[in-house]
Amino acid sequence: MMLNAAWLRTFAELCRTGHFTKTAQNLGMTQPGVSQHLRKLEAQLGHPLIIRQGKGFTLTAAGEAVLQLAQSRREEERQLMQALQTDDPHQGDVRIACSGSFALPLMPALLPLMQQAPGLSIRLDAAPQASVLQGLHEGRVDLGVLGHDPAHPRLDARHLGQEQLCLVIPADQNPRPTFHDLQQAGFIAHPDGFGYADELFALNYPDRFTGAEGLHQRAFVNQIGQIPTPVVQGIGYTLLPRSGFQTHPDRAMLRIADLPHKRHHQLWLVSRKDRPMTARVEGVARLVAQVAARLALSEDAGMGHQDV
């Protein structure tokens, strides 16, 4: 049973003034209107709320409980209005969803902000692209990072840049492996790896590559942060976005193969149009953009690239 908010407000004001006439004046009502609200509230609850004593009244036990509820709701409304008016960038929740590889450099970038703002709560979900998009549509995500512009009328999308798809090999190996070299070494596979192979190998080994199902697979790893670990030990090769390579603690023992044709994934920051960004979400969005920019700078600082 939901109590009528207007009746509760009238009752709370009546308790505050202790007088029906003053309550009516303060609320812009008639005195019979105040009495009617009280009767309806008592009827809904099935209990009397006041005991009349001459021109005054005292509260029953039920009246005391209802007054406490009414005051609590009024305070919640006051806090809500204050929060909406101040829009504190260091208070509240922010929900982000992106690929597992992009989450690796993003989380460390968020930690200093969280240290400075104890009132800020950030949820970072690593999820497939379809899940990120669904979370945005359902309102479960404030900010999503996608590899394409969703081109949806209810979504805002801002292009952040691009991220290189990399063939990751041990640092001591030939930087320009042949397809035979890769087949000899074996693929350290992961859930997205087969799709990456179709993208990158079809471009660079068109005469030898016949599809991801034909790759020699050495291992399958489902934890994004651990995918390069076998390669560090000289076991096989893998395929990852640059963020997945760059954040690995042993990346000095890895290298990105120098392929003749490079493949890049686009990075789009997406949010809901019907939910204007609060100050806290805008602050986090700026950090997401900075992480994307650093990925592009790290590529430019390395070997040259040819976009496709």
244-284 pLDDT, tens per residue? 998 899 999 999 999 999 999 999 999 999 887 889 999 99
Q: What is the DSSP string of 164-200?
A: EEEEEEETTS-SS--HHHHHHH-EEE-TTHHHHHHHH
Pick the CATH number of 164-264 from 3.30.390.30, 3.40.50.300, 3.40.710.10, 3.40.190.10: 3.40.190.10
Amino acid 123: pLDDT = 94
Decide if pLDDT at 23 tops 90. Answer: yes
**Closest alpha carbon to 144 in 19, 269, 60:** 269
128-171 pLDDT, tens per residue? 888 999 999 998 999 999 999 999 999 999 999 999 999 999 99
Decide if pLDDT at 306 tops 70. Answer: no
Q: Is 166 exposed, middle or buried (0-12, 13-18, 19+ CB in 10 A)?
A: buried
- Cα-only R_g, the chain: 30
Is 92-163+265-301 assigned to CATH 3.40.190.10?
Answer: yes
Class of domain 5-86: mainly alpha
Q: Which residues pair with 56 in a beta bridge?
A: 53
pLDDT range class, residue 85, cuts 50, 70, 90 = low
**Closest alpha carbon to 230 in 190, 203, 271:** 190
**Which residues belong to CATH 3.40.190.10 in the chain?**
92-163+265-301, 164-264
**Which residues belong to CATH 1.10.10.10 in the chain?**
5-86
51 secondary structure, DSSP code: E
State the chain's mean pLDDT as an integer: 91
Decide if pLDDT at 308 tops 50. Answer: no
Distance CA 117, CA 224 (A): 28
Instruction: Tell me the helices (H) and strands (E) count for the chain, helix number first.
Output: 11, 11
292-304 pLDDT, tens per residue? 998 888 776 654 4
Amino acid 300: pLDDT = 67
